[in-house]
Amino acid sequence: MASNMTSISKAGKRLGATVALMALLAATGAQAGPFSEFESDLRGVYAVYRNALFATNQNKAEESARATNALAEGWKKLEAKWAKSAPPQYADDAQFAPTLTAAANEIATANKQIAAGELGVAHLTLEKIRDQLGALRVRNNVVTSSDRMNDFHEEMEKTLEHAKSDLTPAVIGEIRGEAAVLAYLADRIAAAPPPEARNSEEFGQLILATKASVKMLQDASSSGDATAVKRALQGLKKPYAMLFLKFG
């Protein structure tokens, strides 16, 4: 993610709030069945994971170490609680426990890379966890708000690749189609927010900002104005990043 997102990460300062969120989600999960309880536990740890992703991406050594150490501790508790007794949505998946272990290994590797000053490499290591969890859910026909967020991110990154090339009429035509897909994916995020975002004014503001950036790209690509398209492409990432950091 681009360096202009530095001002929104604040990973170190968010860790206290993240711990509180993890405690809240765990308490909520304790009153629910194992299906919801696991998803709540995972989202609590995933909030710390997002902070670790941002800190490593922005080359912030102290924040990266702090966030990834917290992630290691949270993941250790998650694995200890669920690896030997999978929740019902993953009960038939022989790779459930190995997936949790693989993620723990990635976290341990990332910690070593951070200690060695290899923050960029650590970021790529941590990104593997998102893919591992996504594959777990795909295998078991489970779809969460994180998957919808990841779908948007993947399409957005593909669209942003156009900024590296000449914005010819043909390229702008491709962007116009991709902007329509982004609008659809943003609507999917808005329609099914994560549990902690329900009735959240902040979530509403962040998703509106994300949708507005997509609308700007749609309008610019429809006009065929290459300068406007370039400006709209530059405006896509920050609103989504703010949404992902808090609710991804």
Q: For the domain that residue 7 is a member of, what is the CATH number?
A: 1.20.120
Residue 198 has a pLDDT of 83
Query: Which of 124, 139, 154 is at the close of a domain?
Result: 139
Same domain? For 92 and 177 the reply is no
CB atoms within 10 A of CB 50: 24
pTM: 0.78
Write down the H helix ranges in 83-200. 96-115, 119-139, 145-160, 169-191
Query: Which of 91, 123, 139 is at the close of a domain?
Result: 139
Q: What is the pLDDT of residues 125-170, one digit of tens each?
A: 999 999 999 999 999 999 999 999 999 999 999 999 999 999 999 9
Q: What is the pLDDT of residues 216-228, one digit of tens each?
A: 999 999 999 999 9
Same domain? For 222 and 160 the reply is yes
* Gap between the Cα atoms of 108 and 170, Å rounded: 46
Tell me the CB-side half-sphere exposure of residue 37, using CA atoms within 13 A: 14
Same domain? For 134 and 36 the reply is yes
Same domain? For 89 and 40 the reply is yes
Q: What is the pLDDT of residues 77-124, one digit of tens each?
A: 999 999 999 999 999 999 999 999 999 999 999 999 999 999 999 999
Please check whether residue 68 is in contact with residue 126, taking contact to mean a CB–CB distance below 8 angstroms: yes
Residue 48 has a pLDDT of 96
pLDDT interval class at 32 (50, 70, 90): low
Q: Which domain holds residue 161?
A: 145-247
Asked if residue 28 has pLDDT above 50, the reply is no
Same domain? For 231 and 181 the reply is yes
Rounded mean pLDDT, 179-187: 98
Residue 159 has a pLDDT of 97
Q: How many domains is the chain built from?
A: 2
* Gap between the Cα atoms of 47 and 86, Å rounded: 21
Query: Which of 139, 160, 191 is at the close of a domain?
Result: 139
